[in-house]
Structures are given as C-alpha cells and as structure tokens.
Amino acid sequence: MEVTEGGVRVEVEDARDGASEGRADAVFYNPEMELNRDITVAALRAYAEREPRVETYLDAMAASGVRGTRAAAEGYDVTCADVDDDAVALAARNLDPYGGTALQRDANALLHEGYFDVVDVDPYGSPMPFADAAVAGTRNLLCVTATDTAPLCGAHFESGVRRYDTVPRNTEYHPEMGLRVLIGALVRRAAARDKAAVPVCSHVSRHYARTYLELDANATEANATLESLGFVHHCQDCLERDHESGRIPDAPDACQYCGSSRVVTAGPIWLGPVADAAFAERVEREVTDDMGEADRARDLLATVARELDTPTHYDQHRLCKLWGRPAVGMEEFVATLREAGFAASRAHYSGTAFKSDASVAEMREATADLA
C-alpha cells in the first residue's frame, strides 16, 4: 500500500493489520512512529541551519526506508541500509524519486568503513550493539532510538545493567531514568573513542526514548562530557532525591530528609541537559503543517525547550497521594511553586510531570493552600 508522510508518498507494507516495528521478521512500517519521524525531519532541517556543511545521511536500519526517503526529500544525500533483501528493494523504490542509495549491508560493518555526516540508528530493541560503530562512523549528528524501555528504566534490572553498563532504577520518573541511562551509555561509548557527544534534543514518547547527539572529535571535550555523568539517590518513602557527579557514588545509608533506609542509587547516568533549549526551539519552528503529528510535535518540543535542567522530574499525582490530598491543575501547581520563589516547569515525560529546584518538603508547604 502507499501512504503519505510529510508530503512524501512512499510504498509500505500494509499497516492496516497493526503492523509494528516490533515485528522483527517483516519489512515493517509503524504508523505510530510518525511523531518520531516528523521530529526527525524537523531536526534535520534545524541542524542544516546549525551546520550547513552536512550533506550525507545514513538510515542504518532502513526497513521500508520511510525515514530515509523523507530525509532525501529534504535534500540530504541518503543511504538506506538493511540486511533484508526485501527491505532494500522497497527502500530503493521509495528513494528513487528523490535520489539516494539502498544497500544490503550490516550497519556495524558499513559504519566501520566510512563516515556519514548524520547517522540514524533506530533498531528493533536496544541500540547498544550498534553504538561503537555508530560513534565511529558519524561526523556530526548521531540520532538514536531505543525501544527497550523496560531495561532502560530498571523494570528489567539485569538486562539494563548488562546492556547499558549502569544501575537503572524503576522509579515514578522512569521515562526520564531511561532517557538518561541511554544518553549516559552513548556518551561513555563516544568518550572511549575520544569523541564528545552532547545531546541537542531528546524526548520520550510512548514506548521509546530518542536522542540527538552532536559529536566532536576532541579528547578534551570528551573529558568534559564525562563530568556530566553521575548518580541519583532516591528515597522510596518520602520521594526526595539527590544527585552527585562523578564516577564513584557516595551512596547514603539513610535518607537525609526522613531517615528512611529505603534509599536506592542509580547510575552512572547523564545528569546534564537532555536538550539545547535554543536548538529545540529551532526544531519546533521547523515542524510544518503537512506533518501528520505536527500539533503533538510542536507541543512536545515546546515543553522540551522550556524544561529545567534538573536530573529528574516529579509526578504531581504521586506526590499528592503521598501527602493525602487531591491533585490540582498542572499549570496552577507549577505557577504556585514559581510564586513561592522556586524554579519550576512542566516536563514532557507525562501530563502530570514537572521539574523544580524545590525539595519535596518545600513543594508540600508551598502548595498547601491548593488542597
């Protein structure tokens, strides 16, 4: 069947039966990932303004080649790679009106043979088996999707430790935990190759985490990125959390706020900003009305651009349940924190997520009159 995304008409496998990117044995097309692809196109437009010399783009796991075809329509010199011959044939047909190349190649082998200005890694499951090759073969911008959210956020603990070489924790801010685990793992892999990897835009949507990392082949800058790695200490009783930078945690025996011994430590994870606010705003401006998920993309990117850089978010419903009082509207809750003198913002991870530099006790006091 044929579908249109962002003004680009492509041939795809019939998606009416619920075809999903979770089907590893098919040349899949997942309509639910259109938001991801819309933001990708907007990010490619914004990055071309940021770095006008970028030309080449690799869709490393192309499947039907929809993402690569949309990049080609933006003027990028696109290569779509896949190990499946049917996928390569379909991607070649889709690329034909716009130019580009479809190759039947293993992404790891291809990325060790040459360089691409922009590399997009969107595999079935974890991207980590491709991380070293992707870092090696990327000149400027590395775009990565991870769909193995349970290991990322600590729900599947052993898998998370094994794949991402960290200790993930399953908390009420598990979407952000997963994103920061992913970024931290990629930053460490890049640093091992004397490359700095800095996230310029990132988001979590439904069943995946997505990040765009700008790479710089500079050992000194790579050292600097490691300073943004560290640990989060989370009290499971009062929900307070602290964070510390460094490679060796000084884990507390008890919560300094309530004295509970139920404190868990996560890390090393990325503690720095998950996006460059100015770049996220530029990406938002590049979202156009011909995109099927334009409204959602704009709302999400606007929230990402305004988010505080604190390493974890809070959930108002979870806090209000702890405090034994009803939740209120998010705008009112955040505004009240600001009026009390604290920094506060909505967070894109969910409709009830927010960020603040206030402690949990300070939040409770500041918002007491809302109950």
16-22, Cβ contacts within 8 angstroms, sequence gap of 24 or more: 21/63, 21/124, 21/147, 22/124, 22/147
For the chain, give the mean pLDDT. 94
330 vs 30, residue with greater confidence:
330
Structural contact between residues 47 and 276, judged by C-beta atoms closer than 8 angstroms: no
User: How far are the Cα atoms of 92, 150, 187, 229 from residue 272, in angstroms, in the given order?
Assistant: 40, 22, 11, 7
Assess whether 91 and 176 both reside in one domain: yes
Of the three residues 306, 332, 355, the one that is the final residue of a domain is 306
Region 280-304 average pLDDT? 98
**The predicted structure's pLDDT at residue 14:** 64
Evaluate if residue 77 carries a pLDDT over 80.
Answer: yes
Assess whether 300 and 320 both reside in one domain: no
Smallest CA-to-CA distance from 101 within 81, 127, 118, 86 is with 81
Query: Which range of residues forms the domain containing residue 321?
Result: 314-370
Evaluate if residue 21 carries a pLDDT over 50.
Answer: no
Evaluate if residue 20 carries a pLDDT over 60.
Answer: no
Smallest CA-to-CA distance from 349 within 311, 315, 306 is with 315
- Between CA 67 and CA 82 the distance in angstroms is 13
Residue 27: pLDDT band by 50, 70, 90 thresholds? low
**The predicted structure's pLDDT at residue 12:** 87
**The predicted structure's pLDDT at residue 28:** 66
Evaluate if residue 367 carries a pLDDT over 50.
Answer: yes
Region 82-101 average pLDDT? 95
**The predicted structure's pLDDT at residue 122:** 96
**The predicted structure's pLDDT at residue 19:** 38
Assess whether 241 and 107 both reside in one domain: yes
Assess whether 302 and 320 both reside in one domain: no
Region 261-266 average pLDDT? 97
CB proximity list for 256: less than 8 A, separation 6 or greater? 240, 242
Torsion-angle region of 125 (φ positive above 0: left; ψ -120 to 50: alpha; else: beta): left
Rounded to 5 degrees, φ, ψ at 187 are -60, -40
> Which percentage of the chain shows pLDDT scores above 70?
96
Per-residue pLDDT reduced to its tens digit, 92-126 = 999 999 999 999 999 999 999 999 999 999 998 99
Q: What is the three-class DSSP state of 209? A: strand
Evaluate if residue 23 carries a pLDDT over 50.
Answer: no
Per-residue pLDDT reduced to its tens digit, 186-213 = 999 999 999 999 999 999 988 999 999 9
Of the three residues 267, 290, 306, the one that is the final residue of a domain is 306
Of the three residues 306, 329, 361, the one that is the final residue of a domain is 306
- Per the listing, tokens 């010399």 go with 53
Cα torsion 81, 270, 322, 316: sign: negative
Assess whether 239 and 353 both reside in one domain: no
In CATH, what number is assigned to the domain containing residue 352? 3.30.56.70
> Which is it for strands 2-5 and 8-11: parallel, antiparallel or unpaired?
antiparallel
Residue 239: pLDDT band by 50, 70, 90 thresholds? very high
- Between CA 202 and CA 288 the distance in angstroms is 19
Assess whether 324 and 285 both reside in one domain: no
Evaluate if residue 244 carries a pLDDT over 70.
Answer: yes
- Between CA 236 and CA 171 the distance in angstroms is 8
18 vs 102, residue with greater confidence:
102
Smallest CA-to-CA distance from 212 within 189, 183, 188, 184 is with 183
- Between CA 227 and CA 330 the distance in angstroms is 33
User: How far are the Cα atoms of 35, 50, 191 from residue 349, in angstroms, in the given order?
Assistant: 15, 26, 28
Region 161-173 average pLDDT? 96
In CATH, what number is assigned to the domain containing residue 109? 3.40.50.150
Assess whether 162 and 182 both reside in one domain: yes
- Between CA 47 and CA 40 the distance in angstroms is 10
Assess whether 297 and 162 both reside in one domain: yes
User: How far are the Cα atoms of 36, 38, 65, 91 from residue 10, in angstroms, in the given order?
Assistant: 17, 15, 9, 9
**What total number of domains does the chain contain?**
2
**The predicted structure's pLDDT at residue 22:** 40
Evaluate if residue 338 carries a pLDDT over 50.
Answer: yes
Assess whether 363 and 280 both reside in one domain: no
Q: pTM for the whole thing?
A: 0.95
Assess whether 234 and 146 both reside in one domain: yes
H helices of the chain, in order, are: 34-50, 66-73, 85-95, 107-111, 131-137, 149-153, 157-164, 174-192, 219-226, 277-285, 294-306, 316-323, 330-339, 360-366
